[in-house]
Structure 1
Amino acid sequence: MQQLAADTMQFIQNHIQVGQTADQIKTLCETYMLAHGAQSFWYYDVGALVFHHPDTLLSVSGREYVPAHTCIQSNDMITIDLSPQRRRIWGDFARTFVVQNGQVVRRLDDIREAEIRNGLRFENQLHAELRRFVDRNTTFEQLYAYMNDYIRAQGYQNLDFNGNLGHSIVKNKNHRIYIEAGNHKKLSRVRLFTFEPHIALINGTYGFKKENIYYFDGGHLRLLADTEDTYCG
């Protein structure tokens, strides 16, 4: 399912158009996933959480999510978070897309606005720092404390409505455990976990997302599925 989620992002980057609404993009993503192997959507039956500027700063649960009916502009930014499911196997994958002069930007260096360009670079940096920092003995709480300090030290803030940075991948969403204070379980003791910082520059106007699923293979942290990006965010 994680590969399907990544494939869906590849699909949607070619189908984002000026004048579409978040609701229309959500429908395109969900229709694609159902046509290519998903049976349902594990996150409160929402297959795609879609926001565009200025709503990228919002962090809401799928229980309360209502897609906006405002239109994508010729210069805009869109976050998409996918949650396909098949036989209780999940995908969980989020990315950020930038629209510039009516076209989705494919190269980070081509983004003109510094706040957007730097925010997406910092998301990539956070995922690289995750892989540098964690080992088999790192707990969920240790990762939470370290990454939140790291985010603040670089002038950013964690936007998540619960303040966490990810969760375990399970078969029942109510059984998830989180990258949060008080969770002393080791990351290596769960089969899979997400890392999904939703961040913004302090006093910034854009919120950025990038989410992958990770797992331990021996002593090494690995990325689940072939999800290395060919798009900038």
Structure 2
Amino acid sequence: MINLDMQDLNRATMKHLIKNIETGMSLSEIRRICEKFMLDNGADSFWYWNIGAFVFAGDETTVSVSGKDYQTSERIIGLNDIITVDLSPQNNNIWGDYARTIIIEDGKVIDKIENIRNSEWKQGLQMEQYLHKLLIENAAPDMTFEELYYFINDVISNHGFLNLDFAGNLGHSIVEDKNDRIYTEKGNKAKLSEVKMFTFEPHISTPNSKYGYKLEDIYYFRKGKLEKL
């Protein structure tokens, strides 16, 4: 068994999936690949409703649903497809939380955004990268979760995108009990530095589009500077 912390395990799981994903696979197969790899390599369970991988594809990528209501579909991956995968492993109550959007064109995973031919998909992933860049450049220890919520949602709107999250938030604190999480949402006056770590996971789309995009990482402050775990 590889000894990985949970976020390293997430990165390894996504690499494993990208190496093994194929046209014709169902979303349930993708979920099984991810969950087996995580359990084989350090996870003892999954912290979010006991689901290790939330998987959506095509026009399902705009769906935002609580884990208690999630059902993995039997949708089949096509030659040209978009897939979102959100991973939730834990070991001894230490969480990992990580999401990526995978693009398949002509049956192959496109590993660099600049090589994506579908301009709509490319723009969506570029926007995700831009939002994470803005987070790192602008988040400060004394900024509140509400201030971050308004700042990022204004950027999303001003660039012609929508926040798809079913609760309207952009992430949450990392804790031992999922019921203790606080969110990047309106009304949360807690400062970012009042939690040890928090996720940033904008789920976005453009108006009237069939497709959604996710990019999630965990962040924390080190000597007053925001860093990615």
TM-score, normalised via structure 2 length? 0.97
Equivalent in the alignment of 1:227: none
Distance 2:107 2:24 in 1: 10
> Which of 204, 209, 224 is equivalent to 1:199?
204
SS across alignment from 2:218: strand
After superposition, the C-alpha distances for 1:46-80 in whole angstroms (9 at most, x for unaligned) are: 00000000100100111111111010000000000
Equivalent in the alignment of 2:31: 26
Unaligned runs of 5+ in 2: 1-5
> Which of 50, 55, 58 is equivalent to 1:53?
58
Equivalent in the alignment of 2:155: 150
> Which of 165, 186, 194 is equivalent to 1:189?
194
> Which of 133, 158, 165 is equivalent to 2:170?
165
Distance 1:204 1:133 in 2: 29
Matches within 5 A, 1:35-114: 35-114=40-119
Deviation at 1:108, TM superposition (A): 1.0
Residue identity opposite 1:69 in structure 2: E
Equivalent in the alignment of 2:221: 216
Deviation at 1:36, TM superposition (A): 0.1
SS across alignment from 2:24: coil
> Which of 17, 20, 31 is equivalent to 1:15?
20
Distance 1:115 1:174 in 2: 36
Deviation at 1:83, TM superposition (A): 0.3
The answer to whether residue 114 in structure 2 is matched with residue 116 in structure 1 is no
Distance 2:110 2:72 in 1: 23
Unaligned runs of 5+ in 1: 225-233
- Supply the RMSD in Å over aligned alpha carbons: 0.6
Which one has the bigger helix percentage?
A: 2
| Deviation >3 Å, runs of 4+ | none
SS across alignment from 2:74: coil
Deviation at 1:6, TM superposition (A): 1.0
Distance 1:3 1:202 in 2: 34
SS across alignment from 1:54: helix
Deviation at 1:150, TM superposition (A): 0.6
SS across alignment from 2:104: strand
Residue identity opposite 1:191 in structure 2: K
Distance 1:6 1:60 in 2: 23
Distance 2:73 2:25 in 1: 10
